[in-house]
Chain A
Amino acid sequence: DSGVTQTPKHLITATGQRVTLRCSPRSGDLSVYWYQQSLDQGLQFLIQYYNGEERAKGNILERFSAQQFPDLHSELNLSSLELGDSALYFCASSAAGGRRRGEKLFFGSGTQLSVL
């Protein structure tokens, strides 16, 4: 158990809809990362938050947004969903948010999103 909690584990929705994925980092970790894993693709970095502030942005679509709350949990909002958004979405956390070189990430077990 990595200590990172993601809910829900599975989500089935229709095109055009909006969903929210939730992530609780490990106790004490200040940074949260979101990754997308599509079929046969690696983990695509979406966005990182550190202590409530956006820290780095990757290949995140404009239809997607995220935030980190004062209690450090994070939510990833996906709107106007398309079939191609079907993927496994991982959240990861780290203690220092990239301030230490080579700092490892702790991943949740992911949310499997299916857009029908």
Chain B
Amino acid sequence: DQQVKQNSPSLSVQEGRISILNCDYTNSMFDYFLWYKKYPAEGPTFLISISSIKDKNEDGRFTVFLNKSAKHLSLHIVPSQPGDSAVYFCAASVGNNDMRFGAGTRLTVKP
């Protein structure tokens, strides 16, 4: 069952512009959401997270927005840099047990 969905398998943006990665979920019990970033030949690494009691969390160039009524979250990267090119996974959990991941979105930032 696909409780966390990333419907865009890939995204290409120009350096300096905004990258917006989207994620939808179906389980209303999810109370924590995380984004992970994965480079080739490496494991995913934690990027940013948000609790269900918030609607926005910012960390430098990265901002995550949560819309609980729409069961939707997004990751904004501003400005995008070539080093941001990677696969981004959205993840969600209930109390951090059994964390569910989306299929990932491959971001390419062109110089």
Contacting pair B96 A98 (CB below 8 A) = yes
Interface SS of B by simple majority:
strand
Which residues of B in the span 71-111 have a Cβ within 8 Å of any Cβ on A?
89, 91, 93, 95-104
Is A48 an interface position by the 8 A CB rule?
A: yes
Is A18 an interface position by the 8 A CB rule?
A: no
Considering the complex, give the chain B residue whose CB is closest to the CB of A92.
Answer: B43
Is A2 an interface position by the 8 A CB rule?
A: yes
Which residues of B in the span 23-55 have a Cβ within 8 Å of any Cβ on A?
31-32, 34, 36, 41-46, 49, 51
Contact string against B for A residues 42-53, beta-carbon threshold 8 Å, 1 for contact and 0 otherwise: 111100100000
What are 20 A-B contacts defined by CB distance under 8 Å? A2-B43, A41-B103, A42-B6, A42-B103, A44-B101, A45-B98, A48-B98, A56-B97, A94-B96, A100-B96, A102-B49, A102-B51, A102-B96, A103-B96, A104-B46, A104-B49, A105-B46, A106-B46, A107-B44, A109-B43
Interface residues of A (CB under 8 A from B): 2, 4, 33, 35, 40-45, 48, 55-56, 58, 90, 92, 94, 98-110
